[in-house]
Amino acid sequence: MLERSTEPTIRRNITSPGRYHIWTVGCQMNQADSQRIQTILDELGWEETSMEQANLVILNTCSVRKAPEEKAHNQLAQLKRAKEQRDDLLVALMGCMIGNQKTIDELSKRYPHIDLFMKVEQADILPRFLEERWTPISGAGCLDVEFLPPDAEAAPTEPILPTIAAFNLPLTGKRTVLPMAITPKPGERIAHYPTHIEQAQASPTAWLPIVLGCNKVCTYCIVPYRRGRERSRPVDELVDEGRILVAKGAKELTLLGQTVEAYGLDLPEKPDLAHLMEQLSKVEGLQRIRFMTSYPRHMTEEMIAHMARLPKVCEHLNIPVQSGDDACLRRMKRGYTLDEYREKIASVRKLWPDISLSTDIIVGFCGETEEEFQHTLDLLEEIRFDVVHVAAYSVRPGTVAARWEDDVPLAEKKRRLHALEEVQARIALELNQELVGKVEEVMLEETNASHGRQQWKGRNRTNKWVFFPQPEAEGNTVRQLRPGDLVQVRIEKATSWSLQGCAVGV
């Protein structure tokens, strides 16, 4: 529950920066974005704190399903009450709830207490925004952010400027309105992403967003409307950032994109994902490279074979299929048939032995019949994915499918979801049991104490969680383990979700 800050308002002084809280929901992309924002605020001297104590609350939102969006609406309602009691609280909104100007207009009408609407590409505005809104006032009012008239001719090819909600400038009553970002036209695209990052926590794993936005138009999906079209970041910028992350302690980088193999298609030199991985592989100290999310049509055999030859690239592919039925895939406008998907999986398995596979599935999409759902269950039995992320279809206003009848009742969606999870739990257990007795390379991520003994937790190369107890000291010879270490672990036990073992090579 938000309360009145105990800090006196006099703290609003440029020599005395405030305190911030970033609230993040959604996917890995959002987590990566929040880390960038955190770096900017830390460098401005702002201190991280709880939501209740913060002077700047940033909500980094997700709209992929209804539930996370509702969470953000709840937070906004609470922040509205808090702002009614405090004049030392700024509220910023970013992430998937930010779409085009129309979305912003609707949100600012409903929530006039939002001070800043920002896309991650616009994070450069934060110092200027805070200078304006957190600087001591000379009696005359806030510093002004220059007013840029919305001009259709001046479509943003440069770093994009944000809209700052103009409703909450009690000291001056001035309105500060900047045009909202729209995705630049093809040929004018710029992936302007905050490059500088300090790792938020000392962690051996780090996210590296390589391509922003999405060019697909899956009928159920809100992402392209909120994240814009694909914009790849240049290879050199990514390699530099990789080096910085490794210097800060990262040992594993996960390359992120909505359809990650589309990387480079919009860049002049057209570097592909495997080329980028090869360049990143040269970063000294980097041990592992992962990537997600894959889209079957963009993966060429040449690309797969190239990635498979790079020792740092881990043998794991997240390749959403969404449905096991051709008619349903057509309604989803996924752009491939099941046979094409099967062929892709077959060629991946041929070119990249021992690769593990995960997928995403939506159950209860518009018009999904019992027979179509059965085809999805059949596909799980046929492909035998290691992990399946299953979601019940959730109508997303503004998408094509939102115009269709959401005709599978919620109870039926839940039944299908549980039925699918049950089948998958058995398959995953069978696959994991095949690893019992084998020795796996595990990168340590964290420890926790259970039953009085310290347990290590990490992932093997195929992205499975592995737990093992801290090795017993033999004389004075036990090595002190640390996050980021690679340890050989003999697998002794398997469940559907993880493996348990003991360290054999430390």
Q: Which residues bind ligand SAM (CB under 6 A)?
A: 27, 64-65, 214, 220-221, 223, 258-259, 293, 295, 320, 322, 360, 362, 391, 393-394, 396
Omega within 30 of 0 (cis) for the link into 293: yes
Q: Which residue is nearest to ligand SAM (CB)?
A: 360
Nearest-angstrom CA–CA distance, 182 and 73: 23
Report long-range pairs for 231-236 (Cβ below 8 Å, ≥24 apart).
Answer: 231/183, 231/189, 231/190, 231/191, 231/266, 232/191, 232/262, 232/263, 232/264, 232/265, 232/266, 232/267, 233/191, 233/193, 233/209, 234/191, 234/267, 235/264, 235/267, 235/269, 235/271, 235/275, 235/276, 235/279
Whole-angstrom Cα Rg for the chain: 24
The CB-of-61 to ligand SAM minimum distance in angstroms stands at 13
Side-chain half-sphere of 185: how many Cα atoms within 13 Å?
A: 4
Distances (CA, A) of 425 to 351, 380, 389, 419, 430: 27, 11, 11, 10, 9
Q: What is the crossing angle of helices 370-383 and 410-433, to 10°?
A: 10
Interior CA angle at 172 toward 167 and 178, to 5°? 50
Nearest-angstrom CA–CA distance, 226 and 114: 18
Q: Is residue 373 a contact partner of residue 365, using CB atoms and an 8 Å limit? A: no
What does the DSSP assignment read for 318-353?
E---B-S-HHHHHHHT-S--HHHHHHHHHHHHHHST
Backbone angles phi, psi at 253, to 5 degrees: -115, 135
Q: Is residue 466 a contact partner of residue 440, using CB atoms and an 8 Å limit? A: yes
Nearest-angstrom CA–CA distance, 491 and 488: 10
Q: Is residue 442 a contact partner of residue 477, using CB atoms and an 8 Å limit? A: no
**Two structure tokens written together for 499:** 């493996």
